[in-house]
Structure 1
Amino acid sequence: MTRETIESDAKYANYFSLLYENDDFIVINKQANINFHSEDGEFGVVVAAEKALACKLYSVHRLDKMTSGLLLLAKSSAIAAQLAALFFEHKIQKYYLAISAQKPKKKQGLIKGGMEKSRRSMWKLTKQHKNLAITQFFSYSLENGKRLFIVKPHTGKTHQIRVALKSIGSAICGDPLYAEKSSLTASYDRAYLHAYQIDFSLHNQQFSFQALAEFGDLFRSECCLAKLQELGAVSDLAWPKI
């Protein structure tokens, strides 16, 4: 099935769009509010991709239901193992976009702490180093008091980015768990977290993918799009070494 066929089929377009495909893997742009795994009688984005492409796919990382963006899926267990090893060795770099309505305690920097389970399905950041989460970010002013965050997680903990931004006073707009109730009543059309860019090397070939969010008034605003165009490849920002 070609990219054009998938995009013209609303059944699959509601789940993802196909960004890239070769013999080893595919890269898709997952839609927001779509489960990663199948549950409650509804198939998840991985199964949707398998059905659309008529092939078995293997996951090597995941995205929360609320999060849109780039997802890498292997076409064989052997390639999945190689990609999983790259993730484990921190040789795959991922960059996220987030938007908050609250000004952060600092405009850029490092957020580091232990991840600990909290109430409901939430997590919190502690001063301990158990289950350590490390996150770097830059932030930029948008219109109407909003701030755009470019986030680089160095670890892959559950809810890591959501908890990190909450910890500096900038919960993600529309986040159903970590945003203040007053923020939820602002009628956001989605939760504003998007996996924007992924860079890695496989079989001595360099790969870099970048994709805008396909849905979300704040992500699609002229101000946000202009800032992203100005920034270009976010991997080229002055990220300090950890």
Structure 2
Amino acid sequence: MENTWIYTCAEPIKIKQYLSQLGMGHRMFNDLKHTGTILVDHRPVRPTTKVLPNQPLTIKFPAESRDETVALSDLPFETVYEDDNWLVVNKAVGEVSVPGPTQPNDTILNRVTGYLVSQQAPNQRPHLVTRLDRGTAGLMLVAKHNVATSMISQQVQQHTMEKYYYAVVTGTMPEQHGMIEAPILRVPDQAARVIDEAGQPARTEYWVLAEQNGYSLVKLRLHSGRTHQIRVHLSSLGHPLVGDHLYGGEPTADNHQLLQAVELAFTDPFTLQRREFKAPLLPEIEKFS
């Protein structure tokens, strides 16, 4: 992996500080010192060197070989965007994000790994930046190497990466726009989460887009990242997702919850450009718009 930035500020800056501003974490910078190469103006330098205005800073890392514990799959996946650092995938309902006891092969991770190996990509160990439940369709961001994972982590942790979901719920929401703030607790030996003061803080923002025949189409943004957050919060208001049997939603003909990750936006730390993506609504969700 190799990437170059042109430093445009007026005052000199230490390489570590500059890379930190771009998003690189402390652990990755330590890896860079020991296994990578740092160049300023195309000349190798020490990690303590300062970058001057208008100088190019280049970092190089060894390629990542594949994780042999991840089985290769040649099943297809829908690619929305791809470059040297990122893949944006549009996951279908029923597809699983990562291998587990019930689905060890053919997950999105297996498929992307198989694709990178088949393409003889320099880096063959993808990292899922975002994940979705089996029953949730929509956009997922995949980093093609661990440097990309490190560089995007601040946006994930600080929730400046924008992810918007569309959902169909039963009933009429209490307001056209609101914030649900309720702590979520994991109960041992239970799949479902519950609202409980002993849980972790969680905030979900919503906008009502349409209402018809006793259902509401809502757009949601997570301001925290708890398991089942949207499902728990909407159910706690008495408006469970249609198709979400775990949290009291009424059944659907194809037996899946009407929830989709439709919009994804982030600042690319390698190009400093804003990247925005939008998936077409599933027909079963679009009919409520």
Q: Is 1:116 aligned to residue 177 of structure 2?
A: no
Count of paired positions: 205
Would the aligned equivalents of 1:103 and 1:169 in 2 still touch at CA under 8 Å? no
Q: What secondary structure sits across from 1:73 in the alignment?
A: strand
Deviation string 1:155-208 (CA, Å, 9 cap, x unpaired) is 01100011111111110011131124xx12x53552111111111112311111
Q: Name the aligned partner's letter for residue 179 of structure 2.
A: L
What is the correspondence of 1:196-207 to structure 2 with a 5 Å cutoff?
A: 196-203=262-269, 204-207=272-275
What is the correspondence of 1:58-73 to structure 2 with a 5 Å cutoff?
A: 58-73=127-142
Q: CA deviation at 1:140?
A: 2.9
Q: Is 1:42 aligned to residue 105 of structure 2?
A: yes
- TM-score when normalising by structure 2: 0.65
- Between the aligned partners of 2:218 and 2:116, the Cα distance in structure 1 is 34
Query: What is the root-mean-square deviation of aligned Cα atoms in Å?
Result: 2.0
Structure 2 residue corresponding to 1:29, chosen from 90, 94, 101:
90
Q: CA deviation at 1:12?
A: 3.2
Would the aligned equivalents of 1:36 and 1:62 in 2 still touch at CA under 8 Å? yes
Higher Cα Rg: structure 1 or 2?
2
Q: Name the aligned partner's letter for residue 220 of structure 2.
A: V
Structure 2 residue corresponding to 1:171, chosen from 218, 230, 240:
240
Would the aligned equivalents of 2:130 and 2:140 in 1 still touch at CA under 8 Å? yes
Structure 2: stretches of 5+ with no match in the other structure:
1-73, 118-123
- Between the aligned partners of 2:141 and 2:231, the Cα distance in structure 1 is 21
Q: Is 1:131 aligned to residue 210 of structure 2?
A: no
- The corresponding residue for 1:211 is 279
- The corresponding residue for 1:240 is none
Q: What secondary structure sits across from 2:256 in the alignment?
A: coil
Q: Name the aligned partner's letter for residue 122 of structure 1.
A: A
Q: CA deviation at 1:147?
A: 1.0
- TM-score when normalising by structure 1: 0.77
Q: Is 1:19 aligned to residue 80 of structure 2?
A: yes
Structure 1: stretches of 5+ with no match in the other structure:
1-10, 225-242
Q: What secondary structure sits across from 2:213 in the alignment?
A: helix
Q: What secondary structure sits across from 2:154 in the alignment?
A: helix
What is the correspondence of 1:184-195 to structure 2 with a 5 Å cutoff?
A: 184=251, 186-195=252-261
Q: What secondary structure sits across from 2:180 in the alignment?
A: strand
More RCO (CA 8 Å, sep 6+): 1
- Between the aligned partners of 2:229 and 2:236, the Cα distance in structure 1 is 11
Structure 1 residue corresponding to 2:175, chosen from 106, 117, 130:
106
- The corresponding residue for 2:217 is 148
